[in-house]
Chains A and B, each alone.
Chain A
């Protein structure tokens, strides 16, 4: 589907013309951009040859029961229905099944996804636009047919629009002039489909909208209107005892491994090869996820990898070959289990270097492919020191600062502490673990600056030495103190998401920060400064 030719651009036509639609257009015409008057039939149905029941069932392996149940609940032509509530986990085929069912039935429907329609107003207007066969274009300034913000308005407009549509649907039966009607009828029913219903809960005043939608059946009292809700979460999350007619729930369970196997075996060029691949891959992956979308993103790349040793992809694999392929593939499976974000390199300049990186990355695909020791972006030295200070401030307990940074009493303190800790080792370990669970700690700006100053005073000395060693630069005279623009650097780091900022009160100085840098990254930065970070890290 979706094959219905070409984009349709029409000038707005009056709705009266819609009933006398040019039927030849209903079937996909290949004339590009031919303006076509809107008609209920062509606009609200799939407008193609309806799909047969067999095709429908075979295109949804593992969904036979649900499809049949849906067909039964929707009922034969012109039969009123109760609202349906379709629910099930993500990527279990809810929306596709419903849409394909309507393709099979070839009845008019209106679909709105609450993802695209992210606010009540847009949801309402999108519904009405579809019902009123309104097309947005440059001519009407891309505006909606009706401005509709309040639920009460929506109900009124909806009722009007629906009555019109239903009347129009009935009319041609009497006229019997249009060719469309010679085909199996579209019936008098119009169906409203609301997808992603769970998203409404995140809106402002969400309960009102949800109630309104559930109550639509009672409010409209039109037997020609069928309501279908699709949601990720079960109906318990919505219902309240407000006395509306409870929609009939239809549950879409997660796919089983066999179902998945069937799904992925569809349209494969070399089914035998692919099934041997699935044998290897499907089980470990199913332990992680059974979502078709996630799997279908992961499999093609792995399959490519799997086929790498093969010269001819058309062959049916022998046992021996299967084993060989398996051993080839095996090291790649585990890393790609966790991977959803695989960056590909496009740059054609110095492809070789990139290739090397890629090869490296493939071995350890888990996203630690930045195994390169360098940080590959520019950061000023003072920003680096600030980053390290923030990292230390988040990792080390504040009580330890004096011991770590005060060169006078540092060693003394530490010894004493260590002695004490030996007696209460266990207790300390517990608190340590607790700290670990809590993640990086927060710190006030002053502490950060104090640590920063300590580090830079230590670091500048070593920096100079280092420079002398490799003869880098000569003197520190046009000296730019590292301290001078710290706050600017801080905001830079905040912008780069290396440091998070908590509540604010600039005068009181009570803003608390938190470093979100991984240890790996901090170590890398420290290495680029030749700063002995590990010396300053507190480990139990």
Chain B
């Protein structure tokens, strides 16, 4: 198997020298992947041209006169792009970190306040002599161990590793002694000793070979440590071994009050988790309090708001990418960490594939149009040509490829993008009333199809307008989502605006006013609406009892209702107006390719990979990959020159979930011997290139070697996880484990 995966290695015969013992199957897994992705990208030839422009293969694209100077330029601009990536990403990263910290800080403060309270409670029950080994005999009030259960609200723990680390730092900065333990310290293997050891290492900063909690007591009684609470943070409580944790708690209990330890435990699932994990005799010593961190959705929304909407970082993602990210978050992974990772991958890919992406960095900084024209004037001819050959540009029939045009285009792009984000923020404000997630709204707002539909219909009634999909859409993805967007989120939002009670409406308008500062037209209208609302309030004060508005306010005929309806109606109309005129997805703006990453396949293959499927596909179509001359011509016919494992797996496709070994072997043998009529192939070793060399030798494949090759192929299939070996019940059958591609 091994050699087949590296077909273009310089000396195939040496590699293929049959090293039977050399289990190189894993080359299939490791070596194959990069090739696969590149094949995938270049395979469908009509993918976006920017891929072809990638620095890795600058010559493959249409630039015929790729002379030396250009190469140097390429080098220079590549350098620029790398710098731009570093700059942009570091900005984004710090922003994300700030946002996350912001989310947690209130919870952290709460925990700290609670820790202080607990500590004073403990202290109030006297200051016993800590170093004495016997437990307290007096009656004291709090013999329980104060425990904070911090609900992380996410079954995946990854996000919260950092959170608890920061909680530790936060408490430390407030003067607590903090030890951050993880579930690894509470493993059944190391027992209680392991957890005490790391506790002592972190608090006392000694490493003893027989860790003893009495050490902690004498450490604590030292003067400088004495008046501060000590907090033990266990981030992932569910993963701890229950018995060790229980033992730890019982031991702490013997030293209760003498060592005022306060536990903080992260709970990923429900508040019941400790009840399920710990025995009752440990549980009853805990005095639990509940805290919660922001849910992953909240964090996600905050990040999206900060990164995609609030500031323009000069990097953006297209609709499909956001859609993919959202789905990935919702269905697969559900961690903010992986969302950030995916975003970073997208960012890196963008900067590496898009030749003009170095301009992004300046989007981050400068705002004046003059700056842009200056900047663009410096661009070489090729770059400009690139820029104007973007599909988005051609769509708009912008023929003149001057640098001024590019500059104004970019300026416009930034402006439109700003408008777009303020409208999305306005939408989100409404969505908050219905607990909509910002990501969903962004997802829909980015959809070029809906926008184009709206634009071409020029129809204000959103609810209706969406359902009518005009076939004359010029957009790339037009019609793709037709029918599904009928009750889209945005139209829900508009409907919601209509039904909003007065108090909420005025609150909403206030926030809108803030968000729409950039768009003076809308800003004025919002002000107008606000004054209307105020006027009404003054006119008909004390009529707030109609807060729970029925769904159809028009069905009632009271005056108040009528008036209120008008304001609501007007706000809804305004909303619709905003949507139609300002909610222009980035993918509909010329030159968006410069800052917008759209290649979802690239991201998908980087993020998910789907190794098993890849292995199967590669096995079935090994010639696509090896590109050897002997097999590629054959089409679907199995040739003996193909790789054994590949032959075997193709044969296995004909069977059901059980494969009779004998039949399989026979057909395998037939394939190997089949072309013997031609009398050409020698098959001592699998690799192809070698075979071609000695093709003249007579076929003298012994039964034994066929069997050996058969066995090896079966083993390889088993190791790749496609097969299961014969069971005792059915000794002559193997079972297929993977089905379907």
Whether A480 pairs with B327 at a CB distance below 8 angstroms is yes
Interface size on A, residues (CB 8 A): 94
Determine the distance from Cα of A95 to Cα of B133 in the docked complex, in whole angstroms: 12
Interface-located stretch among B34-42, B93-101, B274-282, B499-507: B274-282
Q: Is B22 an interface residue (CB 8 A)?
A: no
Closest CB in chain B relative to A283 CB, distance in Å? 21
Q: Which of A272-304 contact B (CB under 8 A)?
A: 293-294, 297
Q: Is A347 an interface residue (CB 8 A)?
A: yes
Whether A8 pairs with B270 at a CB distance below 8 angstroms is no
What 0/1 readout, one digit per residue, does chain B (202-222) give for beta carbons within 8 Å of chain A? 001010101011110011111
Count CB-based A-B contacts (< 8 Å).
270
Determine the distance from Cα of A143 to Cα of B295 in the docked complex, in whole angstroms: 45
Closest CB in chain B relative to A349 CB, distance in Å? 7
Whether A142 pairs with B110 at a CB distance below 8 angstroms is no
Whether B114 pairs with A383 at a CB distance below 8 angstroms is no
Determine the distance from Cα of A382 to Cα of B608 in the docked complex, in whole angstroms: 14
Q: Chain A residues near B485 (CB, 8 Å)? A: 471, 474
Whether A138 pairs with B251 at a CB distance below 8 angstroms is no
Most buried by A among B152, B223, B276, B331: B331
Q: Is A311 an interface residue (CB 8 A)?
A: no
Q: Is B534 an interface residue (CB 8 A)?
A: no
Chief secondary structure at chain A's binding surface: loop
Whether A7 pairs with B215 at a CB distance below 8 angstroms is no
Whether B223 pairs with A343 at a CB distance below 8 angstroms is no
Determine the distance from Cα of A500 to Cα of B638 in the docked complex, in whole angstroms: 45
Whether B481 pairs with A484 at a CB distance below 8 angstroms is no
What 0/1 readout, one digit per residue, does chain A (376-391) give for beta carbons within 8 Å of chain B? 1111111100000000
Closest CB in chain B relative to A504 CB, distance in Å? 15
What 0/1 readout, one digit per residue, does chain A (1-27) give for beta carbons within 8 Å of chain B? 111111111000000000000000000
Interface-located stretch among B52-60, B285-293, B690-698, B702-710: B285-293
Whether B489 pairs with A118 at a CB distance below 8 angstroms is no
Q: A377-B153, A378-B334, A477-B320 are in contact. Are A293 and B284 (CB under 8 A)?
A: yes
Q: Chain B residues near A4 (CB, 8 Å)? A: 128-129
Q: Chain B residues near A472 (CB, 8 Å)? A: 440, 489
Closest CB in chain A relative to B217 CB, distance in Å? 9
Determine the distance from Cα of A267 to Cα of B251 in the docked complex, in whole angstroms: 28
What 0/1 readout, one digit per residue, does chain B (243-270) give for beta carbons within 8 Å of chain A? 0000100110011000000000000111
* Chain A residue at minimum C-beta to C-beta distance from B147: A343
Interface-located stretch among A68-76, A109-117, A166-174: A109-117
* Chain B residue at minimum C-beta to C-beta distance from A446: B737
Q: A341-B284, A496-B238, A507-B718 are in contact. Are A130 and B133 (CB under 8 A)?
A: yes
Q: A130-B133, A471-B491, A473-B443 are in contact. Are A346 and B290 (CB under 8 A)?
A: yes
Q: Chain B residues near A480 (CB, 8 Å)? A: 324, 327-328, 331-332, 604, 608
Closest CB in chain A relative to B302 CB, distance in Å? 15
Whether B210 pairs with A125 at a CB distance below 8 angstroms is yes
Interface-located stretch among B136-144, B174-182, B388-396, B567-575: B136-144
Q: A99-B137, A142-B204, A343-B289 are in contact. Are A115 and B323 (CB under 8 A)?
A: no
Most buried by B among A2, A99, A378: A378
Q: Which of B474-490 contact A (CB under 8 A)?
A: 480-481, 484-489
Interface-located stretch among B6-14, B154-162, B352-360: B154-162
Q: Is A442 an interface residue (CB 8 A)?
A: no
Q: Is B471 an interface residue (CB 8 A)?
A: no
Q: Chain B residues near A122 (CB, 8 Å)? A: 210, 212
What 0/1 readout, one digit per residue, does chain A (187-200) give for beta carbons within 8 Å of chain B? 00000010000000
Q: Is B271 an interface residue (CB 8 A)?
A: yes
Whether B214 pairs with A126 at a CB distance below 8 angstroms is yes
Determine the distance from Cα of A33 to Cα of B225 in the docked complex, in whole angstroms: 12
Q: Is B88 an interface residue (CB 8 A)?
A: no
Q: Is A52 an interface residue (CB 8 A)?
A: no
Determine the distance from Cα of A473 to Cα of B327 in the docked complex, in whole angstroms: 10
Closest CB in chain B relative to A516 CB, distance in Å? 8
Q: Is B106 an interface residue (CB 8 A)?
A: yes
Q: Chain B residues near A9 (CB, 8 Å)? A: 221-223
Determine the distance from Cα of A375 to Cα of B155 in the docked complex, in whole angstroms: 11
Q: Is A509 an interface residue (CB 8 A)?
A: yes
* Chain B residue at minimum C-beta to C-beta distance from A445: B737
Q: Is B62 an interface residue (CB 8 A)?
A: no
* Chain A residue at minimum C-beta to C-beta distance from B727: A508
Q: Chain A residues near B200 (CB, 8 Å)? A: 142
Closest CB in chain B relative to A216 CB, distance in Å? 18
Identify the 9 closest CB pairs spanning chains A and B, nearest first.
A471-B487, A7-B221, A478-B324, A2-B128, A380-B334, A478-B323, A111-B134, A381-B331, A346-B289
Chain A positions within 8 Å of B, measured between CB atoms, are 1-9, 32-33, 90, 95-96, 99-100, 103, 111-113, 115-119, 121-122, 125-126, 129-130, 135-138, 141-144, 193, 266-267, 293-294, 297, 340-349, 367, 370, 375-383, 446, 468-475, 477-480, 482, 484-485, 489, 492-493, 495-498, 507-509, 516, 521
14 examples of A-B residue contacts, CB within 8 angstroms:
A1-B136, A1-B137, A3-B126, A9-B221, A33-B223, A135-B131, A144-B210, A340-B284, A474-B447, A474-B484, A477-B323, A478-B600, A482-B331, A484-B610
A-B contacts besides A380-B333, A480-B604, 7 pairs, CB < 8 Å? A4-B129, A96-B137, A99-B134, A118-B192, A381-B331, A485-B608, A495-B157
